[in-house]
Each structure stands twice: as structure tokens, then as C-alpha cells.
Structure 1
Amino acid sequence: MSDTLPSDVIGRRVEVNGEYATVCFSGPIPSVAGLWLGVEWDNPERGKHDGSHEGTEYFKCRHPTGGSFIRPNKVNFGVDFLTAIKNCYEPDDDGKEHIVIIGNKPVETVGFDSIIKQQSQLTNLKEVSLRNRAVSYAGEKGGIAKACQNIRVLDLSKNLLSSWDEVICIALQLKHLEILNLRSSTLPLGGQSLRSCTSVQIGFAFQKGCKTSMFQSLQYLLADDNQISHWSCINELDKLQSLHTLSCQRNPLTEGNKKAQITRQFIIARISQLKTLNRCEILPEERRGAELDYQKAFGNEWIKAGGHQDPDKNRPNEDFVAAHPRYQFLCQKYGAPEDGELKIQQPCILKNQLLTLRIKCPNQLEQKVIEKQLPDSMTVQKVKGLLSRLLKVPVSELQLSYESPKMPGREIGLENDLQSLQFYSVENGDCLLVRW
């Protein structure tokens, strides 16, 4: 049994006392102390509920008694993705087969279609694991039997696919695909577009900048340990209409601890519908901060390309729009960046990093409003420490938020003690609100 959680715990196949399950939830449950895993059992009679606890749904099961909450130290994670289900007929809730192809040993280089054809007698193939099976190409167009087009989970990790075109060719025939695992699959995932496939003639086209009908059901994409090195790839993912969870760690684009936070912000800003990135939830405050920082970071480039604060004169060139397809939308959402925000900062000079902030205590009417200059790199935790000494209140009792003149009537919480004021897009002239 395991005492620590794998980094990719959601979706992992696990074993508990000889019974197999899939992890669908990981985290705290407010009414019960500690960390819990929510699992859906292969055998629904093993479970107790449908993924809900005290009226809150933490995950969803196909069967009303198919789920359980389990402590992590009771779970064996030494089970490959989906390989615990044997390659045999298993009744599904609709009376049809629900089959998983197991593979964890390399075979000779093969096409995806040739493996799937072997399962053409199955009437409702839903989950397929072809991990480390030396799949290198998609195969013939239309080579996937109709019986296999209901696949919802596909594991192609540790295969030999060298082109995004091959993945697209597979996806065109799997219209119900919800989870795609491409970890360690040697894909460059570079500048290729979801609007065209050079090596696969698929006869597909859609309007520039619109969502694509390709991968129309895909919700989870796992692309860790590949060769993602171009922002154009991230831009293309914004076209996937159902994608809400992305994992893309240990790629050239995301390497380097110093730039990790900036890279995360840019990915969030470029993919509008993303809710979880690298197993961390994207809260509304983080999305807002990421999009505003992204606007500022490329504001000067936007102006040089023909961008303008006057909507009638705002006509950035095609190269800029291609590199930053969401930038114009962000200008409509937040307003065009102001000249003062576009000045190149000099991080070596402390005065250029200081924010003049008003500090107000809404629940303490006798407390006067204070004005302080704080570095934008200062963490929420350090701000609390400063205010604790200033106000003579224990750090543990302080709750911080802020108001901005740009968004009257809206209050934004500073909930993560380890993040900086800059992370939350706190700006000069904003008001910190302190409660205890």
C-alpha cells in the first residue's frame, strides 16, 4: 500500500484488497479530517454511493453504489493505467460489452487501426489501453470499425507516434473520446494546426479562430514528458470545445523553475475554458490575474503590431493575431492596457517595484486607513506578518482581500499565502482589506 500520492493520481488504476477501481477524486472532505481518494469500483457492489457525501457531489459514478472514499494508505497504486481489467467480455450498464485492451510490453511497430480491427466483434468498446505497444501511425482512414467508435478513454502513452497528424486521424474516428493519454509518446506537439493535416487528407476545415468539431468530446488531455516547445500548440488547444483539464509538465516549453509561474499564467490566458492545469485547479482570481498579466506582457508588441486603445483604430496585424489569438478578446473583457502599464519595468530598481496601497479594516471602525508602500513581489504571508505587527493581531486570524478602482464594487480574496501581490494583479492605488 502507498503512503504518498502519485503526481497523476486522478485517473489512476488502483487495487484494494484484491478489488480494482479508478481514482476519480483526490482531496479533503470538509466534514471529515485528512486527505481522501474517491474511487469508482469495477465491481459496483463493492461501493457504497455514487460519489456524493452529505449532499455534495465529489465525483460521478455510472452506478449508484459504485463509489467509495478511501484513505490513500489503503490503496495499491502499483497498477498500470486500466490494466487491472482483464481482456474479456464484461457486461456494461446497457447490457453491452465494456472492454479494455491490455498492453504493457513492446511489440513490432504497428498501426492503431490494425490493433482495433482485432476487436471489431465487440459492440461497445469504451476504454482502450495501448501503453508501450509501439503504435507509430494511425493506419487507414476509416480503418476503425463502427463497433469501436464509442471509445471514451484511450491510453497511447509511451508509444512511437511522431506526428500530431496521426493523432488527429485517430481522433476523427473517435468522436466520443473524453480522455486521451499521450504521455511520453515522442510527439513534438509543435506548430501544427488543428485546421489542417498535411500528411492525412481528412477534408476538414473551419473558420479561423473558432472552436473545432475535432475532438468534440475531449475533456482531459495528458501530454507530459513530450517535446512541446511552441506556444502555437497551446493556442490550438483553445479550439477544443470541451477540454477543461490539461497536464503538460516536463516539456521544453514548461521547464525552468524561475519561469514556471509565468508559463502557467500564459497557458491559462491562452486556453479560455481550462479549469485544471497540471493537477491544480484554476480559481477565478487566478484566471483574472493570469489574463491581465498576459495583456501587460505583450502590450508593447500589440501596439507595434497596430493595436490601439481606440477601438476604431485597433487593427493588429495578422502575425500578432496568429501568435496571440485571444488578445483582442481580453482587450474587450478588461479594456485595452493603459500606457502606464506598458512601460518596461526595471526589476533592479526597488522603487519601480513598490506599490502604494491603502490598508483598511472594514470590521474595525475605529481603525484609521493606513497607506503603505509594499513590493509587488511580497507574498501574502509576509503581508500578513507585517500587518500582524502593525495591528497587534495574530497572523492566524487575519484574512486579506483587495479592491481596485478599475472594478468598483468587487472584492478579490488573497487566499494563497504563498503567492505574491503581483500574482493577484494588485496594482498601485488599490486598497487592501484586512479582517479578523
Structure 2
Amino acid sequence: MMESNVGIGRRVECDGHRGTIHWIGELPPAQGTWYGIDWDDASRGRHDGSHNNIKYFQTRYPTSGSFVRPAKVNTGITFEKAIRGRYQDDATVESEVMEQLQREINARFVEVVGMDKVGRKQSGNMLCIPDHPEELKKSLNHVVHLVLNNMLVYSWMDLLTCCTMFPELRNLQVAFNKLDVLGPIPCGVFDCLEELDIGENPISSWEEICHLGSLPRLESLNANSCCLKRITFPSTSATDKTPLFPHLERLMLANNPLDTWECTGELNKLSKMEYLVISYNVKTSRYFQEFTFARISKLKVLNRTELSPKEKRDCELFYLKTFSSEYYKNGGKEDQNSNSLSQEFIEKHPTYLRLIKAHGAPLDDTDFKTQKSQKLKDLKVELKIIILSEPQREETFKFFLLTTKVAKVKMMLKRHLKINPSTNLKLSYCSTKDGGFEIPMDNDQQDLAFYSVENGDVLLISL
């Protein structure tokens, strides 16, 4: 016999599957009452709510509907029974899992109640939105934290409509809702919202995320495990701040297929962002953390790593030095007031000029690097070494870089010839082009090139 309190919209369960009653009545030629159910799992049903070419109810999916006799349907249990069934008499968690959990939270004793059963039974709900939700504002104005995860059939507009009942919301979670679009937020909705979790939704466009940028008090946004491929604020120039997200301090973007190098430059446009969680490829982004701290001016914590002001300054100096050659090749000057820097460089390194203003321009070592890039054989000379006080010693030859200081040459010779390190050496050389004249090398701070030493010359040592 059908329960008297069962009606359209009632949530039911049958053989472990859950669904919603959308129709109650007879199905000629069969006698008796049937329920028309739209199942949460589309594979559980058989049709779209039709029978003998007559449409009885609407389903969410073409195969999520079926007709079931009331006797086969479980229409619910008491709250107490539900609690006991979910948490009581569960088997203990495997010992190795418990030990790992103890290590992670540094606890001597851990008890996890009903973890496996909760995991198996966890599912979303199909709560119907009231016809006039705005009329419930006064009754719900003390609710500040609302979880609307895994609502199954709620669209973004349904979620917004539902939230109009909670005018004082500070924290909202709408994860696992299969949302791929968000859309504009009506004026007056989420005026008090400070934390928002939209993670685990297939949102691929940053433009959809930007719809949240109008929220006046939003401080924390979780968009982990979405499908975001890039971040861009197209209406804002490379070095300006965006008017969107005026109070956003914390942003979570882990497990998104982002181009992390480009997006860190864009994220610098957020005026108050201090905390960022983001995934990146360690193999292809060796200095990602250091560069990100330099590229996002107000960033203090990256992937839960907090830097001191000195450490952040070191990251900024390292960033300046790393890209100094690129800076000068693109029109940069040591005097930033005379810069003719290319727009391409500015867009790629939007914080570079700000860092130069704070720390000064990096050294222009273009000429040195050009010299260094020459073939090594053009920078080396082979010298014949003679110790004047030991004419019987066997002739020795050694290669030196022309950029080597005389002081370092002396150190190298002491090691090579096994001369007492405390011995005071005096060096000179005979040029093969000057008729064998001896030229003293009396300045330890000059390099070999200063003395015009050439390949084949003789290096003379006085002990």
C-alpha cells in the first residue's frame, strides 16, 4: 500500500539506487499505482518517462526514467536510523592506513569512524528550491556557511537562486556540480561572501571565473581541479592592476592544465593576492617558485611555502640577473629613464621594470658573455714553464685562460709544480714575437691578456 505522505518530488531508494518521484498514477492496461522515477544514475533507468508513446514525466537523461511499483520502493528512514546506519558498527580501518594517518598528523592515537561506509554512501541531493526563496531571508539570515556540493542537477542559476535565501553568507562551497559556465552574478547576491569554493567543476574558461570578480568582499577563491588552461585579464595592460577581485588574497588553482609561466604574470594584476596554490611541472620549470615570488609583487606564500622579506628580495634579484641579457637585447638600459624596452619584453616580464626601480638595473655583461661564448680554444694559451733556479727540471707545458688573474696563475703553478704554498713567486714571460725579451708580470690583479701573452710564450718563475 502506498504511503499517504509520498508525493511528487519525494526522494526514494530501490536496490541501492536513488531517484526522485516525478509522477504517480496508473499505467493502462496495468492496474494499480505506479511511481514514475527519474534516477540519479542514468544507467538505472530504461526510458525518458514515456510509455506506449505517451509522455508521463520529464527525465534529466534519455534513459534515466522508469516505472516502479510502490512496494519495491524505500521512501526513507528516520534521522536516528540514518545516523546509526552510517556511523555505527563499522569495521576498523586497515592498520597501515591508520599508521600513515598518525604520522601525518603527529598523533599517538587516531580513531576514524565509518570512513568506508561514508565513502560508499556519499552522494548529492535533489532538494527542491522553494518557489519564493526571497521570503525565507529573515529565517535564514544567521547562516554564514553553506555547502551545496554535488547537487546533481543544480545549474549555476539554480545555485544563485538558492543562495538568495542566505543574505549573510560568508563561506560558500559549490564543488562537484558539473558546472562549466557561471555567468553574471545579480546585484545584491553574495555581497557578504568572503570565501568561495568552486573546485572540481569542468570550468575551462577564465572568463567564467571573472564573473566572480565583481564580488565586493571575496578574499579566498578555490578553483582547484577545474579545466582552466590560461589566465588573462584582456582589458588590463601588462603592468596595470585589474579592477576585478578587489579584495582577493588567497587563490587555489592546483590541478589545472595552466600555462604557469604566462599566468603568473597575469596574476600579478590582482591587487591584493598574497597566497597562491598552483601546480607546475618541476622538470620544465626549475626555478618556478623563485620566479613566481618575483613576478607577483605582493605574494607571500606559494604552495604553502612562506618567504621572509629578505628571501623574497633574493628571488627578485635572482630574477633580474637571470633575464638581464634578454632585457638589454630588447632595448633595456642601465639608466631606466632612457629605456626603449620592447612591448614584447614588457608583456612577458611585466614586473621587471618595477623590480629595477626597487633594486636597480642588473649589470650589462653582454660584452663579457659574448666573449665567453667564443670557442674555448680562442681563449686559451699554452705556455712553456721554466723555473729559473732549477734548469735541470723537465720542461713543462700548461694551458691557461687569458682571463686568469696573475695571482691565480701563481696558485695554479704552486699546485701543478708542487711548490710550497708559502713560497713567494715572481713571474715574467718571454714573448716569441719580441726577440725573447723578458717582460715582468708584476701586478697580481691583472689577467694574462693584459700582458699580451700569446700561445707558445715562455713563462718564467723566480722562487
Please, what TM-score do these two structures have when normalized by structure 2?
0.49
> Are 1:151 and 2:181 an aligned pair?
no
Partner of 2:244: 214
Judged with a 3 Å threshold, the aligned counterparts in structure 2 of structure 1 residues 135 and 302 are, in CA distance, closer, same or farther, namely same
The letter of the residue matching 1:318 is Q
Q: 1:189 aligns with which of 230, 244, 247?
A: 230
Judged with a 3 Å threshold, the aligned counterparts in structure 2 of structure 1 residues 155 and 73 are, in CA distance, closer, same or farther, namely farther
> 1 CA distance for matches of 2:110 and 2:185?
44
* CA displacement, residues 298-321 of structure 1 (integer Å, 9 cap, x when unaligned): 111111110011334222111111
Judged with a 3 Å threshold, the aligned counterparts in structure 2 of structure 1 residues 331 and 148 are, in CA distance, closer, same or farther, namely closer
Question: Residue 235 of structure 1 contacts residue 271 of structure 1 at CA under 8 Å; is this kept in 2?
Answer: yes
> 2 CA distance for matches of 1:166 and 1:136?
8
* CA displacement, residues 147-179 of structure 1 (integer Å, 9 cap, x when unaligned): 43321111111101110000101222x221111
Q: How many residues align?
A: 258
> 2 CA distance for matches of 1:129 and 1:214?
21
Partner of 1:123: 167
> 2 CA distance for matches of 1:142 and 1:157?
18
1:112 is displaced (CA, Å) by 2.4
Find the residue that maps to 1:137 and give its secondary structure: coil
> Are 1:247 and 2:267 an aligned pair?
no
Question: Residue 111 of structure 1 contacts residue 136 of structure 1 at CA under 8 Å; is this kept in 2?
Answer: no
Find the residue that maps to 1:158 and give its secondary structure: coil
* Equivalences for residues 52-131 of structure 1 within 5 A: 96-104=142-150, 107-108=152-153, 111-131=155-175
Greater relative CO (CA pairs within 8 A, separation 6+): 1
> 1 CA distance for matches of 2:147 and 2:194?
13
Judged with a 3 Å threshold, the aligned counterparts in structure 2 of structure 1 residues 75 and 310 are, in CA distance, closer, same or farther, namely farther
> Are 1:333 and 2:333 an aligned pair?
no
Partner of 2:258: 228
The letter of the residue matching 2:148 is I
Judged with a 3 Å threshold, the aligned counterparts in structure 2 of structure 1 residues 273 and 312 are, in CA distance, closer, same or farther, namely closer
> 2 CA distance for matches of 1:75 and 1:236?
45
Structure 2: state its 5+ residue gaps.
Answer: 1-86, 88-102, 128-136, 377-399, 406-410, 412-463
> 2 CA distance for matches of 1:301 and 1:307?
9
Judged with a 3 Å threshold, the aligned counterparts in structure 2 of structure 1 residues 240 and 72 are, in CA distance, closer, same or farther, namely farther
* CA displacement, residues 24-48 of structure 1 (integer Å, 9 cap, x when unaligned): xxxxxxxxxxx998xxxxxxxxxxx
The letter of the residue matching 1:177 is L
Q: Which has the larger radius of gyration?
A: 2
1:136 is displaced (CA, Å) by 1.1
Partner of 1:6: none
Find the residue that maps to 1:148 and give its secondary structure: coil
Q: What is the percent sequence identity of the aligned residues? A: 26
Find the residue that maps to 1:239 and give its secondary structure: coil
* CA displacement, residues 360-379 of structure 1 (integer Å, 9 cap, x when unaligned): xxxxxxxxxxxx9xxxxxxx
> Are 1:282 and 2:323 an aligned pair?
no
Question: What do you get for the CA RMSD once the two structures are aligned?
Answer: 3.9
The letter of the residue matching 2:188 is K
Find the residue that maps to 2:145 and give its secondary structure: coil
The letter of the residue matching 1:213 is P
Q: 2:212 aligns with which of 157, 167, 170?
A: 170
The letter of the residue matching 1:224 is A
Find the residue that maps to 1:116 and give its secondary structure: helix
Partner of 1:320: 345
The letter of the residue matching 2:281 is E
> 2 CA distance for matches of 1:186 and 1:101?
22
Question: Residue 121 of structure 1 contacts residue 147 of structure 1 at CA under 8 Å; is this kept in 2?
Answer: no
Partner of 1:31: none
* Equivalences for residues 318-397 of structure 1 within 5 A: 318-340=343-365, 343=369
Partner of 2:292: 267
Question: Residue 180 of structure 1 contacts residue 218 of structure 1 at CA under 8 Å; is this kept in 2?
Answer: yes
> 1 CA distance for matches of 2:241 and 2:262?
15
* CA displacement, residues 332-363 of structure 1 (integer Å, 9 cap, x when unaligned): 222211134883888xx9x99xxx9xxxxxxx
Question: Residue 216 of structure 2 contacts residue 247 of structure 2 at CA under 8 Å; is this kept in 1?
Answer: yes
> 2 CA distance for matches of 1:302 and 1:255?
25
Judged with a 3 Å threshold, the aligned counterparts in structure 2 of structure 1 residues 183 and 312 are, in CA distance, closer, same or farther, namely closer
Question: Residue 36 of structure 1 contacts residue 72 of structure 1 at CA under 8 Å; is this kept in 2?
Answer: no
The letter of the residue matching 2:282 is G
The letter of the residue matching 1:229 is D
1:258 is displaced (CA, Å) by 6.9
Find the residue that maps to 2:346 and give its secondary structure: helix
Partner of 2:322: 297
Structure 1: state its 5+ residue gaps.
Answer: 1-17, 19-34, 38-69, 197-205, 357-371, 373-436
> 1 CA distance for matches of 2:185 and 2:315?
41
> 1 CA distance for matches of 2:323 and 2:305?
25
> 2 CA distance for matches of 1:151 and 1:240?
18
Structure with the largest fraction of helix: 2
The letter of the residue matching 2:200 is K
Please, what TM-score do these two structures have when normalized by structure 1?
0.52
Judged with a 3 Å threshold, the aligned counterparts in structure 2 of structure 1 residues 124 and 71 are, in CA distance, closer, same or farther, namely farther
Find the residue that maps to 2:147 and give its secondary structure: coil
* CA displacement, residues 378-402 of structure 1 (integer Å, 9 cap, x when unaligned): xxxxxxxxxxxxxxxxxxxxxxxxx
1:75 is displaced (CA, Å) by 8.7
Find the residue that maps to 1:222 and give its secondary structure: strand
The letter of the residue matching 1:153 is E
Which consecutive aligned stretches of 4+ in structure 1 deviate over 4 angstroms post-superposition?
A: 70-80
> 2 CA distance for matches of 1:170 and 1:236?
16
> 2 CA distance for matches of 1:100 and 1:152?
12
Judged with a 3 Å threshold, the aligned counterparts in structure 2 of structure 1 residues 182 and 76 are, in CA distance, closer, same or farther, namely farther
The letter of the residue matching 2:171 is E
> 2 CA distance for matches of 1:242 and 1:279?
17
